[in-house]
């Protein structure tokens, strides 16, 4: 429930942020009023200038700070982080040479020579090789019968279905 006179909503967001919540904005739009009227004066330009109108003096250097008798505070100890560890050594810029492994040498698909690709082949007028070198394929996995939980394997023959 929204009360625009008191600038209060039951969701309590407008009370905390001092800006109308979504419910208040919907109500303001429904009654065709300007939403800027309902925003608190703290967010105005004049209030911002009032905050920073005084002179802010710079902080003196840390060597001029007074010494205290308290224990000197140290940063927390670095612990081991969660997840996959980072690379143990961070390389310098000068160490980038030789970092990447050497890639494959390109082989032409037209003349089957190494060192260039078929786009830039200048031996295109050469006769086609009758038996070009073929790709070496990995052997296929053998598909066996699944045991348990799967669909039973069946072999369809001319006479009917034979269950294996």
Domain segments of the chain as ranges: 2-51
Q: How far is CA 144 from the centre of its chain?
A: 41
**Cα 26 from Cα 45, distance rounded (Å):** 25
High-pLDDT (> 90) share of the chain, %: 1
Mean pLDDT of 21-48: 87
Band of the pLDDT at 2, cuts 50, 70, 90? confident
Band of the pLDDT at 164, cuts 50, 70, 90? low
Question: Please, which residues have CB within 8 angstroms of residue 24's CB and are 6 or more apart in sequence?
Answer: 2, 4, 7, 9, 14, 38
**pLDDT at residue 100, as a whole number:** 57
Give the predicted TM-score (pTM) of the model: 0.33
Q: Which of 36-45, 50-59, 92-101 has the lowest mean pLDDT?
A: 92-101
Phi-psi region of 18 (alpha: psi -120 to 50; beta: other; left: phi over 0): left
Q: Are 24 and 16 spatial neighbours (Cβ–Cβ below 8 Å)?
A: no
CB atoms within 10 A of CB 5: 5
Mean pLDDT of 109-120: 83
Tell me what the pLDDT averaged over the chain comes to: 76
Band of the pLDDT at 160, cuts 50, 70, 90? low
* Residue 146 reports pLDDT greater than 60: no
Q: Which of 2-11, 74-83, 93-102, 105-114 has the lowest mean pLDDT?
A: 93-102
């Amino acid at each position: 429930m929204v009360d625009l006179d008191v600038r209060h909503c039951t969701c309590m967001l407008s009370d905390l942020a001092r800006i109308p919540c979504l419910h208040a904005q919907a109500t303001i739009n429904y009654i065709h009023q300007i939403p800027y009227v309902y925003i608190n004066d703290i967010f105005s330009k004049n209030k911002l200038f009032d905050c920073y109108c005084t002179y802010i003096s710079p902080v003196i250097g840390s060597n001029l700070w007074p010494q205290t008798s308290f224990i000197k505070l140290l940063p927390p100890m670095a612990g081991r982080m969660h997840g996959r560890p980072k690379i143990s050594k961070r390389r310098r810029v000068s160490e980038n040479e030789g970092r990447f492994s050497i890639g494959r040498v390109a082989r032409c698909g037209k003349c089957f020579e190494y060192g260039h690709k078929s786009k830039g082949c200048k031996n295109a007028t050469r006769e086609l090789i009758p038996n070009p070198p073929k790709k070496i394929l990995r052997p296929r996995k053998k598909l066996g019968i699944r045991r348990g939980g799967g669909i039973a394997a069946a072999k369809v023959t001319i006479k009917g279905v034979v269950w294996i």
